[in-house]
Chains A and B, each alone.
Chain A
Amino acid sequence: MAVAAIPSHTTSIEPARTSRGIEDWLPRLVLAPSFAALILFVYGFILFTLYLSTTSSTLLPVFDFIGFGAYSRLFSIPNWTIALKNLAIFGSLYIVLCTAMGLFLAILIDQKIRGEGLLRPIFLYPMALSFIVTGTAWKWFLDPGIGLEQTMHSLGWTSFTFNWIKDSQMAIYTIVIAAVWQSSGFVMAMFLAGLRGIDSEIMKAAQIDGASTVQTYRRIVIPQLRPAFLSAFVVLAHLAIKSFDLIIAMTNGGPGRATEMPSTFMYSYTFTRNQMNVGAASAVIMLIMISSIIVPYLYAELRGEKK
């Protein structure tokens, strides 16, 4: 790319000033449509939902204002407490396990493995499948009557039981198994990319200094993967909230209401039970919870970025 030598005073001459004027506004103009779209379609809708939660909407939106009664009703519904508890269990297990497994597998693959080209798509492909497909396949696999338990029985191991999916207490963990299966490969890919970006000189220096493998990883590698952790967290948190499709496909909230989550709760109260204001209230609570975790994290990460 040839850079002609331009005397520096050229940039402050009149013609350049007007073009600098346009140049000033053009980027913002280009960004504006996306930004405006998101303000409307995301934040506008959030405000709309907030408003709905204060109305008497049942089947369709009604534009009155009756106060915050929907919230007190919300917290008196036993299913809501179950849903919140499940979200806590599922969300934390999902994020922790995916991150741990992703990191672990990435480190393993990074050890100059033969057959990486084969292994990586194997770990990655579950992400390509829609939740309906995943949910159906796992639902089958976990069903005691036609899945793993039955297979073990037919292979002769008749005392084997694995009926978690039918057990009120354990069903939520089956969702974790399926969800982790789906996403950990993607997290692995992110960490693998991050690992490959680490300067090997630093690592060699550490080894020469006598640091063990574990210490090297802990002190040097993992801190350098901080951006990867951010991206992984964003992706996983996003998926944990979107886990609606998976739950519907696997258990439909069952057995009973044992795998109810805020997302399925919100859906059923808005669209099935004709209690839109309660559904909206639950959505607002969901958003508050999400914000309380994500906003501080994002703030810290973005502020800590090198200028």
Chain B
Amino acid sequence: MIGKEDLPGLMKAVDLKIEETRIPAVLANLQRIEQVAQAVNEIELAPEDELAPLWRP
């Protein structure tokens, strides 16, 4: 699981400063997304499973 110690690197990567009081809630949200993402990341895909097309107006 992503931990508090991982946050500084993630924040730096996207140039986002987060107030200390928000850190627990941001971390909880990240961990929730990580938990959901596991259901996606564990699927073995074939090379032909390309990206879904994005919006084209």
Question: Does A pair with B?
Answer: no
Chain A interface residues (CB < 8 Å from chain B): none
